[in-house]
Amino acid sequence: MTKLHEIDGLSAADVMHRHVTTLPASATVGELREYLGASGSRRLAILVEGERYVASIPGAEVPADADPGQRAVDHAIEVPTIGPDASAEEARDLALSLPTRRVPVVDDAGALLGIVAIDERHTRFCG
């Protein structure tokens, strides 16, 4: 894992986690809850159609009383994304500005390439 202060000359692609688990855009709230509950490190659910990024849902954004059969995408909020060629410094700063410390990396065609994620102690990139 790359340390946050050792990124001179690196890009977002260099520090992103490439093996991202996702949910289909058709996922339900029930499936979203299962996904988020399966791992303590999952702070952000990423919805895709094939390889195309659709939306993100921070776990805290799903109301406790949401119908499990409802479409999860209905709870998506505007989460910034970053391009793979952005600097690692920009990726780090953007991730640290978000409660999830997670930023999807999306190319110009809209394909999800990975995620920039920062550890609990704010010292390293995850992945």
- How far apart are alpha carbons 70 and 64 in whole angstroms? 13
Residue 122 covered by a domain: no
Residue 124 covered by a domain: no
pLDDT value of position 32? 94
Residue 69 covered by a domain: yes
Tell me which residue of 15, 33, 31, 36 sits closest to 100, measured CA to CA: 36
pLDDT digits (tens, 9 = 90+) for 1-39: 789 888 999 999 999 999 999 999 999 999 999 998 888
Please tell me the pTM assigned to this model. 0.92
Residue 82 covered by a domain: yes
Supply the CATH number for residue 100's domain.
3.10.580.10
User: Residue 83 above 80 pLDDT?
Assistant: yes
Residue 125 covered by a domain: no
Structural domains of the chain, count: 1
Residue 96 covered by a domain: yes
Tell me which residue of 46, 110, 102, 8 sits closest to 94, measured CA to CA: 102
For the record, the structure tokens of 10 come out as: 């690196």
